[in-house]
């Protein structure tokens, strides 16, 4: 269990999203007194929740008064608990509140700076107890997400980025949800081979026809080199899903063959791959 806490505007929501992307069950603003009941629900028969991240802070009125007792109760029950504390400089926090135009949850009747100073003072003890303190003053959302994923990904199930490979036909429009689209209509088309026209790219004669062409072999070499260079960079950024689409004219032959080939290569390199042949059954 990871407790995400710290100063308002320091990036707790970004951290929660990063942990959710690598397999944690995340809850924002859970009242600390409900934590034991939440753990009882997790422990019910059939629950598959094993890794939890909870955002707790001064939005919950009793948090600072009750967290010590409740956290001790959690640890006494045998559940490993880690406190991740986020902070930033006063000027950075003020600028963030100006950008979002949100009210600071610790109201003083004075300025935003006064509220930040008061909240920082209230959090002094829990900051001292934290397992990990992160100053987000000079971090972008991407950079914060990256360091969180790097620290906790070894604890997570399904921590690797999920790659969705999609084949489609341009005659049925391009997919709107793709991150990368490759037009492979330059490859030899089995549609014009009478004995292959009625087959699909899932059948061996079509796959052989496409893959044995010298242009295809050169394309696949350059494509796999490109993907093996690019995908780790997306993972490093903290991207959870990537959809890569390959389009031919009808979505039955060439795109299906290329998706099937690339699936095998990426799986061998340890990537989590899902495939979908969108237009394979269309006339």
Domain 2-155 in this protein, CATH class: alpha beta
Q: DSSP strand E in the chain: where?
A: 2-6, 25-28, 52-55, 82-87, 132-135, 162-169, 180-183, 241-248, 272-277
Q: What are phi and psi of 97, to 5 degrees?
A: -70, -35
Q: What is the pLDDT of residue 89?
A: 93
> In tens digits, what is the pLDDT along the chain, a chain of 283 residues?
899 999 999 999 999 999 998 889 999 999 999 998 888 887 765 667 788 999 999 888 889 899 999 998 888 888 888 899 999 999 999 998 888 777 788 876 778 888 999 999 999 999 998 988 999 998 888 889 888 887 887 555 445 678 889 999 999 989 877 889 999 999 999 999 999 999 999 999 999 999 999 999 999 999 999 998 999 888 776 677 788 999 999 999 999 999 999 999 888 887 888 888 989 988 7
**Whether 249 contacts 197, CB under 8 Å:** no
* First CA to last CA distance, the chain: 52
What was the pLDDT predicted at 158? 46
Q: How far is the CA of 77 from the CAs of 5, 32, 51, 72, 74, in angstroms?
A: 21, 16, 15, 9, 5
How many CB atoms sit inside 10 A of residue 170's CB?
16
pTM of the model: 0.57
- CA–CA gap between residue 51 and residue 129 (Å, rounded): 21
- Burial status of residue 164 (CB atoms within 10 A of its CB: 0-12, 13-18, 19 or more): middle
Contact 11, 89 (CB under 8 A): no
**Domain boundaries along the sequence of the chain:** 2-155, 162-277
**Which DSSP helix (H) or strand (E) runs through 75?**
helix 63-76
Tokens, residue 12: 């707790």
Q: CB–CB of 246/165 below 8 Å?
A: yes
């Amino acid at each position: 269990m990871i407790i995400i806490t710290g100063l308002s505007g320091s990036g707790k929501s970004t951290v929660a999203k990063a942990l959710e992307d690598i397999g944690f069950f995340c809850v924002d603003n859970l009242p600390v007194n409900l934590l034991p009941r939440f753990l009882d629900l997790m422990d019910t028969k059939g629950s598959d929740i094993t890794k939890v991240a909870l955002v707790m802070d001064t939005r919950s009125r009793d948090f600072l008064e009750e967290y010590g007792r409740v956290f001790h109760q959690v640890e006494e029950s045998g559940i490993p608990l880690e406190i991740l504390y986020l902070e930033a400089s006063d000027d950075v926090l003020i600028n963030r509140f100006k950008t979002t135009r949100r009210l600071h949850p610790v109201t003083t009747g004075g300025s935003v700076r006064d509220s930040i100073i008061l909240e920082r003072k209230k959090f002094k003890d829990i900051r001292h107890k934290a397992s990990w303190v992160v100053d987000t003053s000079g971090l972008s959302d991407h950079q914060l997400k990256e360091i969180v994923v790097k620290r906790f990904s070894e604890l997570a199930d399904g921590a690797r980025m999920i790659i969705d490979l999609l084949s489609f036909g341009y005659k049925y429009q391009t997919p709107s949800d793709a991150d990368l689209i490759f037009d492979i209509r330059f490859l030899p088309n089995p549609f014009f081979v009478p004995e292959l026209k009625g087959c699909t790219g899932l059948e061996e004669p079509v796959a052989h026809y496409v893959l044995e062409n010298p242009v295809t072999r050169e394309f696949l070499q350059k494509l796999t080199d490109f993907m093996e260079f690019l995908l780790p960079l997306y993972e490093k950024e903290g991207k959870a899903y990537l959809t890569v689409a390959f389009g031919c004219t009808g979505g039955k032959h060439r795109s299906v063959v290329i998706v099937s080939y690339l699936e095998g290569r990426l799986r061998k390199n340890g990537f989590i791959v899902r495939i979908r042949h969108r237009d394979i059954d269309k006339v």
